[in-house]
Amino acid sequence: MAAEARDAVREDEVRAMVRDQIEARGVRDPRVLDAMRRVPRHLFVPPELHDHAYEDRPLPIGLGQTISQPYVVAAMTEVLDVGPGIRVLEIGTGSGYQAAVLARLGAEVHSIETVPEIAVRAADMLSRMGIQGVTVHVGDGWEGLPSHAPFDRIILTAAPPEVPGALVAQLAPDGRMVLPLGDSDQVLVTLDKEEGGTLRRTDLFPVRFVPMVRRRRNRET
Q: Active-site residues: which are they?
A: 68
Distance of CA 198 to the CA centre of its chain: 25
For 149, counting Cβ atoms within 10 Å of its Cβ (0-12 exposed, 13-18 middle, 19+ buried), the class is: middle
Peptide bond into 160 cis (omega under 30): no
For 134, counting Cβ atoms within 10 Å of its Cβ (0-12 exposed, 13-18 middle, 19+ buried), the class is: buried
Strand partners, 188: 180
> Could you tell me which of 91, 181, 101, 94 has the C-alpha nearest to residue 144?
91
DSSP type of residue 39: S
Q: Identify whether the C-beta of residue 113 lies closer than 8 Å to the C-beta of residue 136.
A: yes
For 147, counting Cβ atoms within 10 Å of its Cβ (0-12 exposed, 13-18 middle, 19+ buried), the class is: exposed
> Could you tell me which of 198, 133, 129, 137 has the C-alpha nearest to residue 163?
198
Alpha carbon of 80 to those of 102, 109, 140, 212, 214: distances in Å?
9, 13, 22, 19, 24
